[in-house]
Every structure is written in C-alpha cells, then in structure tokens.
Amino acid sequence: MISKYNKAMKADRSIYLIGRIHEKANEFILKELEKVGLKDIAPSHGDILATLFQHDECTMTYLADNIHRDRSTVTALVNKLIKLGYISSRKGPKDNRSTMVFLTEKGRELETGFKEISLKLYAVEYKGISEAEKEIFKSILNKIHGNF
C-alpha cells in the first residue's frame, strides 16, 4: 500500500521542475552567448552585468543585496569580470572601505546582446502562455519564494 506521503511526493514535482527549468534556461543562455562569441561569460555573471547596465556604478554591497547573493560569491564573480575586462573597480569616494564597481567600454558593448538574449529567453519561457496565465504564474512563484 502506498502511503499518502509517497502519493504526494509522486504527484508534486514542482521543485524538481523549477530546478530543471533553471538548468535548461542556463543552457539556453550559454548557447546564445556562444552565438555572439562570448564563451567566457557564465549565466551567473548576468545579474551583475544587468545591474551595472541600469546603474553607472554601484558598491559591492549594493550589488550583493540587489542580486541576492552573498558578498563572497559576488566578489568572485566581479573579480572574474574584471579579469575579462568587462568591469572595473575603485575605492569609494566617501569611504575607502567600500568598493565601487562599474562597466568598462568593453562591458558597455555587451548591453545590446544581453537585451536580445533576454528577449529570446522570455519568448521561449512564455511561448503558448497568455498574459493572464503569465501574471498568475508570476504571482504564485512570488508567493512560493516568500514561503521560504
């Protein structure tokens, strides 16, 4: 006899599916980045670059808070982007303990390609889904996120 717990576990694969969607989205992004000749950037760099596309510069603390990652992770990602020449950093003008991060010219050149990849990603994500379904979906995801 199958217990109620086992039935529930078999029926609800939502967390599993969210994980697989994340993996497939990352694969999609990597393929699109490769198409435009960017083999050195990972999907994990996208949040940092997107934040810097919106703000000319920001502190490492703001960046970490904005993308919801711990500071050590952001530091590693930022250091990689600095090494690749897409961003640069300097000490904060008011506080030498803070580090300001900003796009280089090479980094600014990525913005158009990143926007195009984002649009393609969202087109795949919401293919065959109505605006009403999209709003319900996003609302439910936000509720689940809040539950954790």
Tens-place pLDDT, residues 10-60: 678 999 999 999 999 999 999 999 998 888 898 989 999 999 999 989 999
Q: In this structure, what token pair is assigned to residue 26?
A: 């990352």
Looking at the domain assignment, is residue 35 inside a domain? no
Work out how many domains the chain is built from and give that number.
1
Query: Within a domain: residue 143?
Result: no
Is residue 138 one of the residues assigned to a domain?
Answer: no
Q: Three-state SS for 117?
A: helix
Backbone angles phi, psi at 93, to 5 degrees: -70, -30
**Strand residue runs (E) in the chain:** 57-59, 87-91, 99-103
Q: What is the pTM of this model?
A: 0.80
